[in-house]
Amino acid sequence: MNKKDILELKRRLKKEACTFTKMCGCYVDADRNKVTTIEETFLNLEDDELHKYLELAKKVLSGTVDNNLLTLDFPSKEEDVDGRQRFLMGLRQSALKNNELLEAFYDMVIQSYNYVGNYLILIFHDCYDVMTKTSDNRKLDESEEVYEYLLCAICPVTLTKPGLGYRAEENRIAPRIRDWVVGMPDTGFVFPAFTDRSTDIHSVLFYTRDAKTPHAEFMESGLGCPSRFTATEQKLTFQSIVKDVIGEEDDRSEVLFYNIQENINDLIPATEDDAQEPNPIPVTVSTISEVLAESGVAEEEAAVIGQTYENVFGEEVPMAEHLVDQKVLEAGAKRKEKLALIQQVENLKQQLEATRSLPIEESEEDGSLAVKTYDVILRVKPDKVGQIHSQIIDGKKCLVIPLDENEHAAVNGVNTTL
């Protein structure tokens, strides 16, 4: 599912547009016991309650595609009679009216979802009458198909923090009553997927709030799909692969890692329109080898990184934008700018020092001032000037500077032994 497909579903999750037919749920405690179940005709709920449930459902369609939202494909075996895809098809067809299937669904989630604490399993049933759209995205008043789907949200339930509060019935300040509060979804899914504005029974949209540690066990054991890396996982895994080889505690490794990040970032095509997303560029093993060579990584190190990269990611080739860490790029750019300024200051100091040692003379032709150049420039202590004299030695005119035993000389900044 792409961003447009997801937004089309998400826009409908408000009271005036929502068509949820039924909502069911199961409250599970930390010991994986079913505490209670709920079953509601959704549109019959009180407004306040309805809006709160809609916010939970809407969150499952929030976040970044390929990071918080992953499209997972069912392997062929899961579409057989005893497969998870076939089970979800039956649950959808029942419109959540089959209690036996619902109990089996709750059991499936409880057995495959690793979470420490209490949580609430919510599942919604919906039928969306998908309107035909013209090439300019204008809706026509005719139905293209009916997209029937299930939306599941798994929400943590936590105990409020202890504190003081006002008890009106007692008219005093006292320890407040601690409540179990349902939080925003930690994990969820939409089945079947809504791909190119159409039903895709071979895929499911998976949601995770934490892109660093998604519940891969639920992707595999719960939904029966091969797990996928989120974009955040790809970035962090790639950084770990590189830093394990080049190190991360010295200037060399810092410069190399910045060079790698910069070269990968250069692979991403620029777009003239900020609203337009750039086409994703896959970073294959051969591409990463070229990047490492351009970045100055030693051949032996590059070979190790390339092999590990292939072993870890396999056929799930990361996109360039998923491997780029903007914080690293910003820090590296500031570091380069700082070093350039330091070098610029040093160059200016050297130029100023050289200028100070050169006399200015007036041109006989136009009276302009210019730096007069000499083959030999001396800098000596004032009391030494009177001791300097010229002398013909071996037929050549020489400058003679007498030196006492405790005196030393330097030529072009280098100590000279006489």
Note the pLDDT of residue 146.
92
Q: Which of 73-77, 256-260, 395-399 has the lowest mean pLDDT?
A: 395-399
113 pLDDT above the threshold of 60: yes
Which residues have CB under 8 Å from 76's CB, separation 6+? none
Token pair belonging to 339: 């070093």
Q: What is the mean pLDDT of residues 282-290?
A: 93
Residues 362, 369: contact at Cβ < 8 Å? yes
Name the most confidently modeled range: 152-156, 276-280, 318-322, 329-333.
152-156
Token pair belonging to 237: 């895994």
357 pLDDT above the threshold of 60: no
Q: What is the mean pLDDT of residues 272-278?
A: 62
Q: Provide the residue type at 116 as one letter.
A: V
Give the chain's radius of gyration (CA, Å).
36
With cut-offs at 50, 70 and 90, classify the pLDDT of residue 137.
low
Note the pLDDT of residue 362.
58
Q: Which of 48-57, 264-273, 321-330 has the lowest mean pLDDT?
A: 264-273
Note the pLDDT of residue 361.
60
Token pair belonging to 215: 């519940």
Note the pLDDT of residue 329.
86
Which residues have CB under 8 Å from 22's CB, separation 6+? 39, 40, 41, 42, 95, 96, 97, 124, 125
Note the pLDDT of residue 210.
95
Note the pLDDT of residue 373.
58
Note the pLDDT of residue 7.
94
With cut-offs at 50, 70 and 90, classify the pLDDT of residue 70.
very high
Q: What is the mean pLDDT of residues 380-401?
A: 83
Cα separation, 415 vs 403, whole angstroms: 14
Note the pLDDT of residue 139.
59
Q: What percent of the chain has pLDDT over 90?
A: 60
Note the pLDDT of residue 148.
96
Give the SS3 label for residue 158.
strand
377 pLDDT above the threshold of 80: no
Q: What percent of the chain has pLDDT over 70?
A: 89
Please give the C-alpha separations between residue 372 and each of 349, 356, 388, 416, in angstroms, as whole numbers.
20, 12, 22, 27
185 pLDDT above the threshold of 80: yes
418 pLDDT above the threshold of 80: no
User: CA 306, 312, 316: angle at the middle one, nearest 5?
Assistant: 100
30 pLDDT above the threshold of 90: yes
Average predicted confidence (pLDDT) for the chain: 87
Closest CA to 75 of 219, 194, 226: 226
335 pLDDT above the threshold of 90: no
Closest CA to 102 of 22, 20, 19: 22
Chain-centre distance for alpha carbon 125: 33
With cut-offs at 50, 70 and 90, classify the pLDDT of residue 340.
confident
With cut-offs at 50, 70 and 90, classify the pLDDT of residue 380.
confident
411 pLDDT above the threshold of 90: no
Note the pLDDT of residue 117.
93
Q: Provide the residue type at 80 as one letter.
A: D
Q: What is the mean pLDDT of residues 195-213?
A: 95
- Reported in sequence order, the residue ranges of 52-115 that DSSP labels E, i.e. its strands, are 69-73
**pTM confidence score:** 0.77
Q: What is the mean pLDDT of residues 208-231?
A: 95
With cut-offs at 50, 70 and 90, classify the pLDDT of residue 188.
very high
Q: What is the mean pLDDT of residues 389-401?
A: 85
193 pLDDT above the threshold of 90: yes
Q: Which of 16-25, 158-167, 273-282 has the lowest mean pLDDT?
A: 273-282
Residues 22, 125: contact at Cβ < 8 Å? yes
What's the sign of the alpha-carbon dihedral 73, 79, 83, 89? Answer: positive
Note the pLDDT of residue 376.
72
